[in-house]
Amino acid sequence: MRKPFAITLDPGSSLANHTGTWRTSRPVYVDRLPPCNHACPAGENIQGWLYHAESGDYEAAWRLLTQDNPLPAVMGRVCYHPCETSCNRAHLDAAVGINSVERFLGDEAIRHGWRLTAPAPASGKRVLVVGAGPSGLSAAYHLARLGHAVSIHEAGPVAGGMMRFGIPKYRLPREVLEAEVRRIVGLGVELRLNAKVSDIRETMRAGAFDAAFLAVGAHIAKRAYIPAGSAAKILDALSVLRSMEGADKPLLGRRVVVYGGGNTAIDVARTAKRLGAEEAIIVYRRTREKMPAHDFEVEEALQEGVLIRWLSTIRQAAASSITVEKMVLDADGSPQPTGEFETLAADSVVLALGQDVDLSLIDGVPGLEVKDGVVRVGPDMMTGSAGIFAGGDMVPAERTVTVAVGHGKKAARHIDAWLRGARYAPPPRHEPATFERLNPWYYADAPKTVRPVLDVVRRQSTFDEVVNGLDETNALYEARRCLSCGNCFECDNCYGVCPDNAVIKLGPGKRFQFNYDYCKGCGICVAECPCGAIKMIPEEI
Instruction: Label residue 228 by pLDDT band (50, 70, 90).
Output: confident
CATH number among 3.40.50.300, 3.30.950.10, 3.50.50.60, 3.20.20.100, domain 247-352? 3.50.50.60
Contact 296, 270 (CB under 8 A): no
CA distance 135 to 194: 18
Q: What is the pLDDT of residues 250-263, one digit of tens each?
A: 899 999 999 999 99
Residue 4 pLDDT: 35
Work out the mean pLDDT of the chain and round it to a whole number: 92
Buried b (16+ CB within 10 A) or exposed e, 343-370: ebebbbbbbbbbbebebebbeebeebeb
CA distance 541 to 529: 27
Residue 19 pLDDT: 55
Residue 402 pLDDT: 97
Instruction: Label residue 3 by pLDDT band (50, 70, 90).
Output: very low
Indicate if the pLDDT at residue 321 is higher than 80.
yes
Instruction: Label residue 404 by pLDDT band (50, 70, 90).
Output: very high
Contact 503, 494 (CB under 8 A): yes
Alpha carbon 94 to chain centroid distance? 19
CATH for 126-220+356-419 is 3.50.50.60
CA distance to 34, 144, 228, 306, 323, per residue, from 326 (Å)? 46, 54, 19, 19, 10
CATH architecture of the domain covering 35-115+444-479:
Orthogonal Bundle (1.10)
CA distance to 430, 442, 489, 522, per residue, from 536 (Å)? 16, 20, 19, 9
Q: What is the pLDDT of residues 183-202, one digit of tens each?
A: 999 999 999 999 999 999 99
Instruction: Label residue 541 by pLDDT band (50, 70, 90).
Output: low
So where are the chain's domains?
14-31+488-538, 35-115+444-479, 126-220+356-419, 247-352
CATH for 14-31+488-538 is 3.30.70.20
